[in-house]
Amino acid sequence: MKIFIDTANVEQIREVSGWGILDGVTTNPTLVAKEKMDFETIVRETCAIVDGPISAEAMSTRSEDIVKEARKLASIHKNIVIKIPMTEEGLKATKTLSKEGIKVNMTLVFSPAQALLACKAGARYISPFVGRLDDIGHNGMEVVAQILDIIDNYGFDAEVIVASVRHPGHVVEAAMMGAHIATVPYEVLKKMFKHPLTDQGIDKFLQDWEKVAKR
Ligand code: E4P
């Protein structure tokens, strides 16, 4: 499974890229708003760090404007993927852009029906937001399983990005059901390292090794 980081913080991207496990990056307007850097600088610096798909969101609402914005963003770097919210106008823009070879990540997907339409419009990535579904009492991972089945049934050329990940359990579930990608916040990636038995084990080995060294 590919692991993306869900952040617009260039330092976090640099650090996690150094771990050797990072395949791509997703950003969104809320994540960008948390940073001091301007959007284009964030996108350019990210492309210089990570050699993989970098999602940048188009914020226009009419399909013609989304297409214009997307072309401009895509011209920044070959790895840019345009994130487009799941709307009627977004679908129209996705169709146009996919014909031009510009990759689209259809975002704010909350149902298998939306995902099916996104696939048919030519979206290369589909982002179901599992955490936000869980937050309202639905089962986000169930929606991921349904979308994976649909992609598999018809051989759509699309990958699922499990998004709105809240904890390592979401990532494990995504991997167990064969989701293509999980986009994971920095704090959750850090938690994925941790296990108390690993820490205890290292402490014990270090103590015992000191005894060996004293011999
Ligand atoms: C996905 O691409 C989004 O940026 C993100 O996963 C949204 O997550 P949130 O629900 O934590 O805002």
List the alpha helices (DSSP H) in 19-81.
29-33, 39-49, 63-74
One-letter identity of residue 3:
I
Q: Using DSSP, state whether 28 is helix, strand or coil.
A: coil
Q: Is the CB of 105 under 6 A from ligand 1?
A: no
| Cα Rg of the chain, angstroms | 19
Tokens 């904890």 — which residue?
Answer: 167
Mutation test of ligand 1: which of 109, 129, 167 has the most ligand atoms closer than 8 Å to its C-beta?
Answer: 129
Considering the entire predicted model, what is its pTM? 0.96
pLDDT at 77 over 90: yes
Structurally, how many domains does the chain consist of?
1
Q: What per-residue confidence (pLDDT) applies to 157?
A: 98
Query: CA-CA distance, 145 to 154, in Å (whole number)?
Result: 15
- Distance of CA 189 from the midpoint of ligand 1 (Å): 14
| Percent over 70 (pLDDT), the chain | 100
Q: What is the pLDDT of residues 79-117, one digit of tens each?
A: 999 999 999 999 999 999 999 999 999 999 999 999 999
Residue 57 in tokens: 């969101």
Residue 199's domain is classified under what CATH number? 3.20.20.70
Distance CA 24, CA 13 (A): 9
Per-residue pLDDT of 145-162, as tens digits, reads 999 999 999 999 999 999
Query: Domain range for residue 168?
Result: 2-213
Task: Report the catalytic residues.
Answer: 83
Quote the pLDDT of residue 215: 87
Nearest residue (CA) to ligand 1, atom 4: 28
Q: How far apart are CA 186 and CA 36, in angstroms?
A: 18
pLDDT at 139 over 90: yes
CA 27 – CA 60 distance, rounded (Å): 16
